[in-house]
Amino acid sequence: MDKYVKKYAIVWLTLIVMYHVVIFFVPQPWLSGEKLNQNFWIGYGVVWLALAGQFLCVLAAGKYRKLEQIFLRIPLITTSYRALIVTIAAATICMFVPMIPVWVTIIVCVLALGFSVISVVSAQTAGDVVSDTEQKIKENTYFIRQLTADAEGVVRKSKDDNTKKISKEVYEAVRYSNLMSNAQLSELETQIRLAFEEYSAAVEMNNEKTVSLAKELVDLLEERNRKCKLMK
């Protein structure tokens, strides 16, 4: 993401130069020589605040490295663009329309900046909420996802057809178990993990206890599924 931020910085600086060329060097005959009045400097200061704020938004989005995190920050960047356009348009109008009173310029610029801040903060907050929710889901589904991967590994380790059949049944039981975990299931999930380790060791050694250990494991998984339904 850093390389994109650097490229954007070049574009950002180019736009600033172009904007300054327009406002300082292009003649505005309707101003009657009163170009750099109070309205102009108020609007000019607001434009700089908007530009700096928008660049900070890009930097904030650029600090993320994972693709899904970057994706969640796209609304922040697009919102900051819209806010920048609105603020620059409002401030520039106030800068170059001489009949606008100073107090109107102040109100318009404050409202434009306020709109920008609210929009950007809302976009950032929405991204944070989605990111936190996704992280929580990953944490709450980790137990079954990890157990499913382990159960699949046990199937590959099975040394004969009968053991393979049993291990496939266990794998299917794990795979179709309720994904979501919570604190109330922690004790039961510890039992399931211990039972799985015993079952896995039995399969690897082709132990005669494989059948009974597999049944015990499946029973524990079914108990967990029943409790998950009750907690919904």
pLDDT of 173: 92
pTM of the model: 0.63
Is residue 20 a contact partner of residue 48, using CB atoms and an 8 Å limit?
Answer: no
In single-letter form, the type of residue at position 3 comes to K
Enter the tokens of residue 108: 């318009």
Specify the pLDDT at position 192.
Answer: 92
Residue 111 in this model has a pLDDT that exceeds 90? yes
What is the pLDDT, as a whole number, of residue 172?
Answer: 92
111: left (phi over 0), alpha (psi -120 to 50) or beta: alpha
Give the model confidence (pLDDT) of 150-199 as tens digits: 999 988 888 788 888 989 999 999 999 988 888 888 899 899 999 999 99
Task: Delimit the domains of the chain by residue range.
Answer: 2-132, 158-231
pLDDT-based confidence at residue 59 (cuts at 50, 70, 90): confident
- Between CA 220 and CA 222 the distance in angstroms is 5
- Unique residue bearing structure tokens 């950032």: 124
Q: Which residue has the higher pLDDT, 232 or 133?
A: 133
Q: Assess whether pLDDT exceeds 90 at residue 140.
A: no
Q: Is 188 left (phi over 0), alpha (psi -120 to 50) or beta?
A: alpha
